Structure 1
């Protein structure tokens, strides 16, 4: 029954989203704080591996959903989209580099902030996404949505207030470094997400390419393989991950950590917890498509709010982080603002 399958998929994707949002920050924080700085795994290689996992999953989903039957026809489709349509695919390099830097900043924030502060503060991406939607897509927001964004900003301010007040100057520097990483990650998250949405929705229809006449017949993609909007979305995710992998290898791995990787290896200080963070981060990118397709904004808001509550409780229990009154008040405002912004 398609209706039952769609309903089951909706609730399953939301449930996994709650677990993913809660687990990513907690486990990432654990892997970055449980060892000393000399034995930390390289965040640049972890980011690239996460993108490689997303690329592999997108390839598998496309091959399974497309009626191509053979690897040769599937390769022909990829040749058509990645080579013949290169001028369209190359535009995804812009959000790809922004997503790479954003994921790198998440590791920096997880190193210098406790999981609860990181999780709540990271909800500022709702504000940046809304602002870039107005600027780049020309959308208009309702009064209650602007109210929700205002409450969100106030709530985030209350959450970070205890972390930036105190007499220990060294602690203040560490906190400020983590907070700056979160703020930049939220900015890049909103910009990259809206820019990617604009590219997907503004994709022009395929037109005849005069250069195709110079392509040998056995290399041409005719007859063209039609794809549905859902398959086109996964194709765009594949292109995005493709650029992310190569840009990550060049920008992050080679230029940032090249000497250390040549000396110690690509997977230096990797543990099973590191691989778990990589898989969870890749799952988060895949869940975006599923939640948008099968769920609505109200349920997504509830899922986000629930993940904040779970991560806050677990952080206070496992990491012995004291939760002040201002922190709890700020968290409550963030949860309500998340619900209010997505309420129809």
Structure 2
């Protein structure tokens, strides 16, 4: 084995390698369970802070995205050095991967930009939709994922799988009908004097765009992680993407909230809840990478379906601005069943 190969293999941390030695049912359940927890916590926390915080005290969403990208970069950097025998070897590895392979860095800029855009779209969507509504409509990424997997990964899908996508669309339509009926009869719309104005059409449009960018970035990143022609390791791939993500998120701060940041400061509105959002978003991104590497995009759908149930349950406890009806419950059930059918079919 050459020194170059030894250097490339030395960057996997002990904890990570121990977990992935047995890529069986326990490892899959572990990754899916943690991902469900992170997605549920992130969705509820963002929805709570954006809806319950007065507008003049609200934090900037772009700074949260930037902070989470920095956190992901630092966490990944820690694992790179933790897997290296010495600090010098870690420096050599990073120097080799970043400065000797500029084209690889450029390729990883594509999903990082898409994820940064998706994160900002998610904030806008959650500011205009209930947490449970956002989770249900975000399942549109499943058909988009199937399309991108056909284009990039040459995957083929059976009629049963396409039927599950159709079933998903029916479930979403039922949920939308229930939402429209609810907003028509809602008494809460008259009590938003000190809260952010909510626009359902804006929220749904942002969810639609976020689903496209998320599906594209997910399939593209999966292709990059599973690329057998490259010796680039898992953590280096993530380090490359998060490096680009930090730059794109910083650019988003200047383009989206420059005036607010300049007047109020970068950390305006930050508290323990915002820190939790950053942590949920940071570790959530890393666990999504684990799913891409050792499972696939379809397992994301399964995790997301269970996350819907968790968000709805906790939304009933935390929020008092929505009540689940039979129509909503039946539509959400169809969504969950369609995602399960989508994942249970081999092709």
* TM-score normalised by L of structure 1: 0.84
1:136: which partner in 2?
152
1:261: which partner in 2?
261
2:78: which partner in 1?
60
Deviations 1:2-27 (A, max 9, x none): 87896654433232222122211111
Against the structure 1 CA distance between its residues 128 and 311, is the aligned structure 2 distance closer, same or farther, given a 3 Å change threshold? same
CA distance in 2, matches of 1:191, 1:77: 29
Structure 1 residue 74 displacement after superposition: 1.0
CA distance in 2, matches of 1:9, 1:199: 22
CA distance in 2, matches of 1:54, 1:162: 38
Deviations 1:40-61 (A, max 9, x none): 1000000011111111111122
1:290: which partner in 2?
290
2:213: which partner in 1?
188
2:30: which partner in 1?
12
Find 1:26's aligned residue among 35, 44, 53: 44
| Paired residue secondary structure (1:163) | helix
2:113: which partner in 1?
97
Correspondence 1:108 to 2:124? yes
Find 1:48's aligned residue among 66, 72, 75: 66
Structure 1 residue 248 displacement after superposition: 1.1
CA distance in 2, matches of 1:249, 1:161: 39
| Paired residue secondary structure (2:316) | helix
Structure 1 residue 281 displacement after superposition: 1.0
Correspondence 1:81 to 2:97? yes
2:323: which partner in 1?
322
Structure 1 residue 159 displacement after superposition: 1.5
CA contact (8 A) 2:226 2:293 kept: no
CA contact (8 A) 2:59 2:268 kept: yes
CA distance in 2, matches of 1:38, 1:323: 31
Structure 1 residue 291 displacement after superposition: 3.7
2:245: which partner in 1?
244
2:274: which partner in 1?
274
| Aligned-CA RMSD value | 2.7
CA distance in 1, matches of 2:299, 2:219: 21
CA contact (8 A) 2:222 2:292 kept: no
2:14: which partner in 1?
none
Deviations 1:135-192 (A, max 9, x none): 2332211111111111111111221222234548996971111111111100100111
Deviates most, 286-295 or 264-273: 286-295
Against the structure 1 CA distance between its residues 16 and 243, is the aligned structure 2 distance closer, same or farther, given a 3 Å change threshold? same
CA distance in 1, matches of 2:102, 2:32: 35
| Paired residue secondary structure (1:141) | coil
Structure 1 residue 259 displacement after superposition: 2.1
CA contact (8 A) 1:9 1:294 kept: no
Gap runs ≥5 in structure 2? 1-17, 190-196
Structure 1 residue 97 displacement after superposition: 1.1
CA distance in 1, matches of 2:169, 2:97: 41
Structure 1 residue 235 displacement after superposition: 1.1
Against the structure 1 CA distance between its residues 312 and 85, is the aligned structure 2 distance closer, same or farther, given a 3 Å change threshold? same
| Paired residue secondary structure (1:44) | helix
CA distance in 2, matches of 1:298, 1:126: 8
